[in-house]
Every structure is written in structure tokens, then in C-alpha cells.
Amino acid sequence: MRRGSGGGSGKYVPLRYQTHTDMITKTFSLRRLLLCATLGLTAFAPTSRLAAQEGPGGRPEPPQFIEPTYIERPSWMRYEQKADEPIENVQARVARFAGQTFDIDTLRWSGPGAIDIVVMGDGYTAAEQAKFTADARRCTDHLFETTPFDRYKDFFNIFALHVVSEESGISHPGQWKETDGVGEMVCPEGKTLPIVRKRTFFGAHLDGWGVHRITGAWNSQSAKDLVRMYFPRCKFPCILCNTDEYGGAGGEILMATCNSAASEIYVHELAHVFGDLADEYFGGDVYMGEKPNLSSVRDSARVRWHRWIGEAEVGVFPHRGGRKGAYYVKPTQASDTSRYCKMERLGKEFCPVCRERLVEAIHEQADLIAAASPADSVLAPLAKRERVTFSLDHVRRVTGDKQTVRWFVDGTLAAEDTEALTLDAKRLPAESAHEVRLEVYDESPFVRNPTCPRYHTSVRTWRIARRR
């Protein structure tokens, strides 16, 4: 596969379209399918240990929590490459789609080891592939205009994978409504958009879980297989839906429509998938749980984001809504005049709490040290007069941050803020082995969590064998 415009292709046959009912019966339980379809509202967490207790006057009081633990989204609700699945199985499924070529455009290239995001389109015909490229580029450009992603451009590779659909647009299946004994499929929110089922590659549709703006994909396995075939390191596949309707979803595959707010939807949904952030508007009791920006602890000295209390607009605000929503708090309260937060309202900035989590997630996925030499981590003994140079060949730059470079020899600091270190064998004791250690640290003003340096420090080590 060639990385660049038009690079990479494969042969595929048309999809066999299945009805929504078929997919439910064959693949998922109804409950699980509905939960998956609504992940756009927030990153899902298991129901927390909530049980209303009777207080004075018979009013329910929130339960007492003992240091709630942030619970990551269950693995079945995250997109993960299945390394244990033989690639031959994926190839066998993909072989059924022979007959279509998949071109790849590289929208951003930061090198091997960077975070791969693959954007695919659904509902784009062969004549609309230029529109897909423009839509994908518009979303990508907006992502890197948004803080904190604007500082971490060097940590991402973005690819546009061209998929051709038979028809333009996506499905609007509606839901069954019966009036006076007469039933019909109607839009769950009364939209005038015609009820229609389009023949598209991934089967993208609106009306997930009876909510018009929630998007889903009936043939999402095809998207997973394509990503596995062409981008085995990718953890963040995305589908852009060719419709002007407002909508999107998170979950295993990020989805966004091409509405005028598409770029903002794209970034908001990516924050769900990438940072496991919760919505800060109320989307339902099922989404209440401990998250980086959602807590059941109301004490400002103990809440998860207590280090940010005092920053403009950051505090402990009631989440409100539903039975469980009243027991949870969030770090900001969006309004028409507020600066934050994008997890509650599109068009706002990410608040400091969400911003910190996104920076942590970036460092968890990509190494500051992109390349260093020598390539071998174990070196032969040095001759008596030999000299060897160790170098930091490529470091991922963070715009606006200070990056500290330190070199250690046998645990002792030998040099700082230099990209190379030269060792002279005659200065090293011959009777023992030696270790050279390179550390690069990102001093981000967006992070106050003292446990974060382990993510923000990248390390390379070399061992020099003992001379005999």
C-alpha cells in the first residue's frame, strides 16, 4: 500500500444488505444493539453503585461513596484490533467484497508510531469522492484548530479511506407507530425527512435507539475489516455520513454527519472515543458513572478535578436530570456567555478537566521519542579507545510546551537539553557493564495530575556489555 493520494487498493464485491431485524436476530441481543447505537450521547460505563436511601422527611439522599473509581468503557464498547484473530479470517470476509477499489489519501503524516485515525465515508457515490475528501479534510483541519489537539499535531497520522456507495445519502428508517389500528414507519422526532433505506456500503442510518440524531451502521463489521486490513495499528476508525441532517455517535466507531456543524460533532465524538469523556448534558441514567469529567463526589477538596478548582469557570456543578443525574457533578456549567465546555455545547472550548484527560490520552497512545540511535539496545563491549555517540533523531514536538531532554550514564545525569551524547571508552570502568538512558519529558501546562509524568516521559535505554 502506498501512503499518499490514491495509494492502497483492494478488490471487493457488493455488500449483501440485511434488514435491521435480521441484524438484531443474527448478531446482537436487542438490548446490546440499542446501547451500542446510543454511544454518541456519551462514553458508556457500567451502572455505578447507586441506591437511594431514605433521609429526613422521606426524601431520598445520595449514597455514601468511598473514593469512587473511574471505570473505563467495557472492552466490547471500545474499538480494539483483535490481534488473536488470524488475518486470514479477515481476508476471507473482505474477499467477499471483491470488485471495488479503495483509494487512500494521507491527510496528515507524522511518521511511524504516531496515532492513526482512519476516516471513511458512507453514502458517497463514485461521483462524490471529491466531496468526501473535502469533508474529511474539513473535519481534520478543525480538529487541529481545537485545543489541545492544536499543540499535538505531530502525534497523529490521518488517512481518508475512499469507499464507494451505490446510492447517495444515508438511511432514515424511522420507527413503527400505530394510530387507530393503522401502523407506519415515521421519524421518531417528527422530522419531514422521507423514510427511506439507502443502499450504502456500511449501511449508515439515523434514528438510533429512537433518537433522530443518533447514527449507526448496520454493516459496521465491514468498516472494522477494512481498517484491520489496511491500518492494523488504528484504534480510532471514523465514518462520515453523507447527509445534511444533524447527527453523530461515539462507541467502537466514531460517526458524524456532514451537517454544517459536522466538524464540531466530529471533535466532540472523538473526545468520547479518544478520552472516554462523558457528556456534560444529561443523556439518560444509563450514562451516569465515574468518568474523568463526571463524579459522584461533591466535595471540592476531594472531587477528581480538585486541582483545577479556582480556574475560571471550573467548580462543582450539579449534573441534573433523571434519577441518577441528581447524584453526579460536572466541572463546568455551559451557558451562552461561558467559555466551556464542548462536552456540553458545541462551539465551546474543552474545559481544563477535559483538556487534561485528552493530553493524557495522547501520551498514552504515542511516544515522545519517535526515533533514536543506535538502533540496537544492546551494544558490544567498547574497545579501549573507542567512542560511541547516542542521538535523539526525532522527537515529537508539542507546540508551546517545554520538552526536557536528559541523558544518564549508569544512573548519573551526564547531559541535559542536548540531542546527542558521546561516550569515551577510556572514561568508563572496564570491569562492568554500563547503561545509557535517554529521557524526554513534556512539561504541559494543561496537566496538574501528579501521576501523569509516567505517561509524559518517554525513555530509551542502551546496555553496553562488559569488556572481557
- Please count the CA atoms within 13 angstroms of the CA of 364 that sit on its side-chain side: 12
- Which pLDDT score is estimated for 67? 40
Its pTM stands at 0.78
Determine phi and psi for 129, rounding to 5 degrees: -65, -30
As a dihedral over the C-alpha atoms of residue 9, residue 15, residue 20, residue 24, rounded to 10 degrees, the angle is -80
**What one-letter code names the amino acid at 125?**
T
Of 455, 393, 441, nearest in space to 420 by CA: 393
Domains and CATH numbers, the chain: 20-363 (3.40.390.10), 367-464 (2.60.40)
Measure the CA–CA gap between 406 and 120, rounded to whole angstroms.
Answer: 41
CB-based contact 41:287 (threshold 8 Å): yes
Q: Which three cell numbers stand for residue 169?
A: 445519502
Of 289, 267, 440, nearest in space to 354 by CA: 267
Cα dist from 345 to 146, 183, 295, 328, 373, whole Å = 14, 36, 19, 18, 46
- Which pLDDT score is estimated for 85? 66
Evaluate the omega torsion of the peptide bond into residue 452 and state whether it is cis, within 30 degrees of 0.
no
Output the tens digit of pLDDT for each of the chain's 468 residues. 333 433 333 322 222 222 232 332 333 333 333 334 443 333 333 333 333 333 444 444 443 333 444 444 444 344 555 555 676 776 777 666 666 678 999 999 999 999 999 999 999 999 999 999 999 999 999 999 999 999 999 999 999 999 999 999 999 999 888 777 778 888 888 888 899 999 999 999 999 878 899 999 999 989 998 998 889 899 899 999 999 999 999 888 999 999 999 999 999 999 999 999 999 998 878 778 899 999 999 999 999 999 999 888 999 999 888 788 888 999 999 999 999 999 999 999 999 999 999 999 999 999 999 999 999 999 988 887 789 999 999 999 999 988 999 999 999 999 999 999 999 888 888 778 999 999 999 999 999 988 777 778 999 999 998 776
93-97: long-range contacts at Cβ-Cβ below 8 A with a sequence spacing of 24 or more? 93/221, 93/225, 94/10, 94/12, 94/225, 94/226, 94/229, 95/11, 96/12, 96/13, 96/16, 97/11, 97/12, 97/13, 97/14, 97/15, 97/222
- Which pLDDT score is estimated for 2? 34
Measure the CA–CA gap between 365 and 116, rounded to whole angstroms.
Answer: 10
Q: Which three cell numbers stand for residue 79?
A: 474499538
Q: Which three cell numbers stand for residue 68?
A: 469512587
- Which pLDDT score is estimated for 317? 95
